[in-house]
Amino acid sequence: MRSAACPPVSLLGNSRNTRPSRCRTICAPCMPGPMPQLPERLILIHGAWAGPWVWDALIAELARHGLPAQALALPGDGTHHIPPPKATETDFLQCIVQAIEAAPGPVALVGHSGGGMLVTAGAEAVPDKVSHGIWIAGMLIPDGRSFDDIQAQIMGPDARFGITAHVEHSADGLTSTVPKDMARAYFFNDAPEPLAVGAAAQLTCQPRSGHRLRTPTGPRFAALPKLYIHAEHDRSVIPAAQTAMSRSAANVTVQPIASGHVPQLTRPAELAQMMADWLFSRPRSGNPDYDHSAAQAGSTDRAPRKRAQGKSAAPLTTSPRT
């Protein structure tokens, strides 16, 4: 049953069993390796200060690949009935769990930036319904750690990178905002000026509780097929931080994109193509075709690797399972 707190967003796209841009139907003879178990829908989770609007262009592109997507409204994001100062970690977790449970079949969770923490939390809370996880310049935080820990790891104690130093906190410490000029500089640096200005104007107050979840993870999360979209020109979640986080998890495919922090705005067609290619070639239980020996420990090089027996090439860097 859907909660009134998190009303469903209309789903776009054709049946998940069709992919108009490549092939009318997905069938065993034309699929390399095991047949993929596609998610019934993608649940898109925005990052701090953003809202469901940030996914509009990507939803339209995903529909071209036959992938229905739902942009989730989160507590305190201006579209949800819970105001920012009142939103709690429990509210956020309940929102994502209800969205997962409302889906009739398996879902892929897609998190941008701080929304990545909710991907982890949702996958751990409802493991039987979450078939895939996708992080877009997202916070894929190691077990029990926080993004503050990642910043300290990269920059040293008490040092910060990206937008963090420019965040303005409310007097009571419950919410924060980002100045529009800083948003354009750190979030939308690669966007055309009209797009950057318009996007910055839509950013809202952010609950402090929203993206500070620490989620203990176990073997089922380790086995979850994961795609990490590495934004190469990100000034907020800088590439070094993305690399540190993607290396920390098991069963991860890393795909670079030549974009700033928000590729769903600036390169939606390319991003949708990457996501579709991965989803249409990865079985839900993990891909036995992963060549783990080819991914050097600690390497961030994303050289293409062609599959055996004439299978299509796919740029992969994968982490070993643990």
* Domain boundary assignment for the chain: 28-315
Model confidence band, residue 284 (pLDDT cutoffs 50, 70, 90): low
| Chain mean pLDDT for the chain | 81
Q: Give the C-alpha separation, 138 to 119, whole Å.
A: 9
Cβ atoms of 120 and 141 closer than 8 Å: yes
Average pLDDT over residues 166-174: 92
- pLDDT tens, 197-211? 999 999 999 898 766
Look at residue 108 and give its three-state secondary structure: strand
Whole-number pLDDT of residue 211: 60
At 155, the amino acid letter reads: M
From the number of C-beta atoms within 10 Å of its C-beta (0-12, 13-18, 19+), residue 71 rates as buried
Give CA–CA dist 302/311, Å, rounded. 18
* Residue 67 pLDDT level (bands cut at 50, 70, 90): very high
Residue listed under structure tokens 């055996």: 308
What does the alpha-carbon distance between residue 276 and residue 77 come to, in Å, rounded to a whole number?
28
Q: For the domain bounded by 28-315, which CATH number is listed?
A: 3.40.50.1820
pLDDT for 11 beyond 70: no
What value does the mean pLDDT take over residues 122-141? 96
Q: Which alpha helices (DSSP H) does the chain contain, by range? A: 56-64, 89-102, 115-125, 147-155, 180-186, 193-202, 219-223, 239-247, 263-266, 268-279
